[in-house]
């Protein structure tokens, strides 16, 4: 028997809260009444979270790859030769850009 999970709004990430609020709006529009946050959270995680999370991961991976390729170009320009994707990715992580990218800080603070 599958384990029942409970989700509290306090335990969700900022992105998850935004997705739940968006879902709540759609449900409320469909039903012509406010469905409430508790119902929206449960319905979102029971029926939509897996697809939403997959889409988020795919988008994050694509954005991260783009940032690494930008870093590769700048690093190659700085060193005067093509450093290669692997070396650029390692340098991107070691230089702290990956952490800033994940945390949306530093040069990435305005990333959407």
Span 50-65, mean pLDDT? 94
Q: Angle 84-90-95 (CA atoms, 0-180°, nearest 5)?
A: 120
- pLDDT tens by residue, 29-39: 999 999 999 99
Q: How far apart are CA 106 and CA 101, in angstroms?
A: 8
pTM, whole model, 2 decimals? Answer: 0.69
Q: How far apart are CA 35 and CA 22, in angstroms?
A: 12
Task: Give residue 11's pLDDT band: very low, low, confident or very high (50, 70, 90).
Answer: confident
Residue ranges in 2-96 assigned as alpha helix (H)? 14-31, 37-47, 49-79, 85-94
- pLDDT tens by residue, 17-29: 999 999 999 999 9
- pLDDT tens by residue, 65-75: 999 999 999 99
Task: Give residue 88's pLDDT band: very low, low, confident or very high (50, 70, 90).
Answer: very high
Task: Give residue 4's pLDDT band: very low, low, confident or very high (50, 70, 90).
Answer: low
């Amino acid at each position: 028997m599958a384990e029942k999970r409970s989700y509290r709004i306090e335990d969700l990430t900022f992105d998850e809260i935004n997705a739940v609020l968006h879902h709540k709006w759609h449900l409320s529009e469909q039903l012509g009444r406010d469905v409430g946050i508790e119902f929206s959270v449960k319905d979102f995680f029971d029926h939509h979270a897996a697809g939403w999370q997959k889409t988020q991961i795919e988008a994050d991976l694509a954005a991260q790859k783009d940032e690494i390729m930008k870093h590769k170009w700048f690093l190659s320009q700085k060193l005067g030769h093509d450093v290669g994707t692997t070396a650029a990715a390692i340098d991107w992580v070691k230089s702290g850009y990956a952490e800033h990218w994940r945390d949306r800080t530093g040069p990435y603070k305005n990333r959407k």
